[in-house]
Structure 1
Amino acid sequence: MRIFLRLAGVAMIISAAVLFFWQDIREFFTDRVNDRIIEAYQNGESSVDVGRFESMITGVSTKTGDDGEEAPGGIDIGEGMAGVMKIDSAAINEPVFEGPVTEDKMKSGVSFVHETDHLDMQNIPIAGHRVEGAGIRFNYLDRASVGDRIEFITEDGTRVYEITDIFDVNPSQVEVMDQREGQPQQLTLITCEDYNPETLLFEKRMIVKATIVE
């Protein structure tokens, strides 16, 4: 009985420690998966293996078999990844997936919004989650300031953008994604803002505009 109580006590201590450090643990494993995705993309690989334990912690979806059961494998980046986004001032280093945006893609990185979005359009909209308590995805986007640089690393090279504006809009104000012919190319980064605990909804969208400089 005494041994059982000791084991139960140890289990409770371990459980409490995991809960206390959960966001740090999640951030660590997400950064590790991100690094592998980015390295695989830069090496021209078509997929990245993600273990079941990593998938459970990070929320990153793994491949499924024909029967719907989880199959060995990971994230398909062969034709679905547009590049890598780096914002040093906001501690952002994320894979960017081609559209349309889906929950699975935003669990694995950030994503173009529409299926037809591409690297050569004038206004490239990119959406990402804010993961409360963890420094992943667009959670620290509010640390960025006007004048900060954004690097977008693609297969054709690195594009550099400068942040020109940061503001909030209502979710219905989709005109922030409009194309403006003849204007310099820009990025429109979109994430949730202004969480309402009563409705459990984010009532605003944070918009970061950045114009190409290189």
Structure 2
Amino acid sequence: ENSLPADINFNLDEMNNLGGEKMALLLQLLLWTLLFVAIEYFNISWEKIQLLLKRHLIPPPKTDEQLAFEDDVRQEESRVLGQSQPSTIQVKQFRKVYFTQSGAPFVAVQRATFGVDKGESFALLGVNGAGKSTTFKSLTNQLEATDGEINLRGLNFSTHFKTLRKFVGYCPQKNALFNGITVLEHLELYYHLKELPLSHKEEVIWFL
């Protein structure tokens, strides 16, 4: 009678389970691939899904009578909303609502409207908690606007960000440098992120 060597532990149940494990790996691969495509090409995020599911919990926008806007803020809003030719950067009645850990809505930005033209310097001022960082994060598509529009060069930031991101530069409050890579590697990284032509890569980087 033939028998297996003593040092070989043959487990029939484990062999039968290999098919299930392979199937699980294939399903994970498929799910992660679909998730990557959804995020990269369709700009789908957990924030958008959460906003869709909890839209009914968000309070309605405040009326003009409820908002104590100063005269210059109202003038800027009227100017932007009445533009026949939009500004290079155009923020129209932008509102951002977060959901706290308890699930309650929190309005971070009530209704922001402003326009910035080419060559113009613009300062967004406000006290702590006024929503300045939230507005800039939405301008760089890190956050999704709850209501309103954010446009660059006449295109909506949310739906055309893949096209527009090469025109956007953002310096946050904290250090935006990565540990472990050189200055040259930083320049190469951001050059590729901006999707600039490879034919001019060395010329541009060494110029900088």
TM-score by length of 2: 0.32
Answer with 1 or 2: which has the greater Rg: 2
By percentage of residues, which structure has more strand?
A: 1
By percentage of residues, which structure has more helix?
A: 2
TM-score by length of 1: 0.31
